[in-house]
Amino acid sequence: MTLGNFVRTNRPRWEQLEKMLAHIEAKGPRKTDRVFLRELSALYRGTTGDLAFAQTHFRGTTLQLFLHQLVARAHNQIYRPHRLSSRVLGSFVFTEIPQAVRQHLSAVTWSAIIFFLGIAMGLSAVQFDERAASIILPNNILNSIYSGQMWTGSIFSVVPAPVASTYLFTSNISVALLAFAGGLSCGVITTWILFQNGFMLGVVFKLCANYGLLGALLEFIASHGWLEISSIVIAGGAGLVMANALINPGSYSRSDALASRGRTAVRMAVGCVPALVISGCIEAFVSPSQAPVWFKMALGLTLGASFWAYLLLTGKATTLTAQSAVQ
């Protein structure tokens, strides 16, 4: 059979398949009926046959390329992954994210160690020489502390709380996701982000203590700090998981280790996003407010404790079913 005859005989079938694919790609499989799907799968099988024939007899032709594409598109529709449903989303949030964090608790611990090392270095740096603060803190904050004032008052009275909260949670989420992605640099970027944030916190703490602002600082961070620091540490842990896959892939190849561990690490990072949105809103609306200290403290501790309870306790029973749902 010549190529011309082959095309002439089978072209109606291919065009029909193309038309049906365009329909299902635009509308989704729910808007189609049984007859449609039967015909689609019949046409798909027919076209795979044509492709096999073309691969034997018309190698290297454009026809082969076209048939490849047609079969690939049909294949995508027939073997499509689960679409998002409330069940899939629920198992993602309440099973897969907590499981991922629990699976990599040691990485989270290392991430916390780096973070607290940063705090310790920050504290001792200011202890030795107060000028060390100027390498990491901007001038307006420094001047405010030197004059015995919390810098937060002046900032939050100028910027409206909705704008501040948006800015805070977007920048915190960026830091967290960057800490995750930084794992691909063998952990250099992740470690740097964790250390730098810890260092800044340590410097601020010691400096505020020197100028009699410790109470005011603690009051300010009491309501959002727990959630924010937990999230950054967990996102850093996700980055360290990937760094570990690159440095120490075990019996896998590096790219395989990255692919399999990245899948759990990304769940850890995504789990931090809602927590950071909440903590950003609280930092802008509650932390600078006149609410009593006990309220801020109680709110912060409750949120921090529920976040960890969610990560450590939920989704223990259904291990296998949930894993296969989103894959």
Partner 1 sequence: MSPSTTTWDRRKAELELPEEIDLQVELANVGSRTLAILVDIAIGSLVLFIVYSLWELLAHDVAEDWFIKVSSSVVKIALILLIFGFQWCYFNLFEWLWNGQTPGKRLLHLRVIKVDGSPVSGIDVLLRNLSRPVDTLGPMGLIGLLMIFVNRKAQRLGDLMAQTLVIHETAIDWSIFDQVETLDAQAQGVVATPGIRLNSTQWELLHRYLNRRESFEAEVRQRLAPILRDALKRAVRGTDLERSTLAPEDWLLELARRS
Residue 251: what are its φ and ψ, rounded to 5°? -90, 5
Give the Cβ contact number of residue 214 at 10 Å: 14
Q: Among 31, 38, 75, 131, which residue sits at the site for partner 1 (rule: CB under 8 A)?
A: 75
Kindly state whether residue 263 participates in binding partner 1, applying the rule CB under 8 A. yes
Q: Which of residues 150-209 bind partner 1 (CB under 8 A)?
A: 160, 162-163, 166-167, 170, 173-174, 177-178, 180-182, 184-185, 189
Of the candidate residues 19, 31, 38, 65, the single one contacting partner 1 (CB under 8 A): 65
Amino acid making up residue 68: H
Using CB under 8 A as the binding rule, whether residue 69 contacts partner 1 is answered as yes
Query: Distance between CA 262 and CA 271 in Å, rounded?
Result: 14
Site string for partner 1, 203-242 (x = CB under 8 A): ---------------------------------------x
Alpha-carbon distances of 233 from 72, 113, 269, rounded to whole Å: 42, 9, 10
Rounded Cα distance between 91 and 128, Å, is 50
Identify the burial level of 24 via C-beta atoms within 10 angstroms of its C-beta, where 0-12 means exposed, 13-18 middle and 19 or more buried.
buried
* Per-residue buried b or exposed e for 277-298, using 16+ beta carbons within 10 Å of the residue's own CB: bbbbbbbbbbbbeeeeeeebee
- Binding residue for partner 1, selected from 34, 35, 62, 324, defined by CB under 8 A: 62
Q: Which residues bind partner 1 (CB under 8 A)?
A: 2-4, 7-8, 11, 14-15, 18, 25, 45, 48, 51-52, 55, 57-66, 68-72, 75-76, 79-82, 84, 160, 162-163, 166-167, 170, 173-174, 177-178, 180-182, 184-185, 189, 242, 255, 258-259, 262-263, 266-267, 269-270, 326-327
